[in-house]
Structure 1
């Protein structure tokens, strides 16, 4: 057992740990019983830690893509339809998670991904000379989000949106993959963003099962990881092909 004096020193740490990383039962296991090998508690901490890491990483996960678009002033190789379908999936997950009152650590990154994906959608329209259409797209999207989060929308609609994520994710990635294949390159698609999204969706399979126990959420991330993996493989393939062409030219 820890002394009262020792306990007072741990109070600030305890508040932080109980808020963000573990339930009180796990705090007792680690800091009172010194049982650092408690498997259920280790799984909780791993899940919470991964969730927080994914959320922090998501703040910048699509920033390389945005910067690449702005730097090139071109949206070559990016499919606006793919972005729309991706937004459908992200919006479904966001509204479903809020409606189900899941912990923020289990879904928080989709909020930042939503803002970044909307920005990419606008930039695609802007660099194709359709700025007014891009502005209309922004207005309509945020009106839709407000409507979905309002009490006017029944939970059954939100659940249907989450269920529709799987086909939406598959179709959006197939559209982007087909665009890459047709062009013979990945254009202004950012490799950094692609691999960060792929890694995040893989980690979310575990955190979804651990923190929500919701099979619909978990299966969404399984499908998402598989589809993101296809795009990641294309990025690697076309990057190697480009490197080979450059090498052959030099020779």
Structure 2
């Protein structure tokens, strides 16, 4: 029992620590390159909308079922990093004016959420779908360009690790199937993106620019 508690504590703390710097490698790559080659703006928008909705829904969901706070404390940190990433993507992509529209969408989306159980359950499933869609958008961008460009392999590796630890903490603490299915799906998709990035880095394919 003591060993299990220690492992759970390590998983929770390591996930929180990793998430504190999860997007830093990608942010530094963008700041250094001042380019969005190989990055999908559509993916980043979905990747930001997903966590924002997911965090609000997830916190409400966790509190409703009285789940332990250490299982979701990393989400505010991830949201802040995604906001910085999105602003950089819009800035270097010449679409900074779109940030106002996205801000309105986020605020309105948050206000529309309620504490009704059926809405929480529906929103949980919707957030999983949005997050999965963002991974496929990034994969599509990689497949079309055949170039890893400014995509950070370290960021995707860290994301894969945090999802794997959350599979363990979910099984040990709550056993919630909706949450478990989400983290399993995200682990597989994050790993897929990571392997794709490593593949195109290794083969050094020439980029095909998107319109």
- Is the structural similarity TM-score above 0.5? yes
Matching residue of 2:111: 147
- In 1, are the aligned partners of 2:36 and 2:89 still within 8 Å (CA)? yes
Greater Rg over alpha carbons, structure: 1
Q: Secondary structure of the residue that 1:197 maps to in structure 2?
A: helix
CA distance in 2, matches of 1:146, 1:166: 16
Q: 1:42-80 deviations in whole A, cap 9, x for unaligned?
A: 223312221111111111110111111121111221112
CA distance in 1, matches of 2:109, 2:5: 31
Matching residue of 1:156: 118
Aligned residue pairs total 202
Matching residue of 1:240: 202
Q: Please list every run of at least 4 consecutive aligned residues from structure 1 whose deviation after the TM superposition is greater than 6 angstroms.
A: none
Matching residue of 2:209: none
Pairing of 1:77-92 with structure 2 (within 5 A): 77-92=38-53
Matching residue of 1:15: none
TM-score by length of 1: 0.73
CA distance in 2, matches of 1:140, 1:122: 15
Pairing of 1:210-225 with structure 2 (within 5 A): 210-225=172-187
Which of 59, 69, 74 aligns to 1:104? It is 69
- Which of structures 1 and 2 has the larger relative contact order (alpha carbons within 8 angstroms, sep 6+)? 2
Matching residue of 2:136: 174
Long gaps (5+) in structure 2: 207-211
TM-score by length of 2: 0.85
CA distance in 2, matches of 1:132, 1:92: 22
- In 2, are the aligned partners of 1:89 and 1:162 still within 8 Å (CA)? no
Matching residue of 1:131: 96
Q: Secondary structure of the residue that 1:108 maps to in structure 2?
A: coil
Counterparts in 2 of 1:211 and 1:105: CA distance versus 1, 3 Å: same
Counterparts in 2 of 1:161 and 1:87: CA distance versus 1, 3 Å: farther
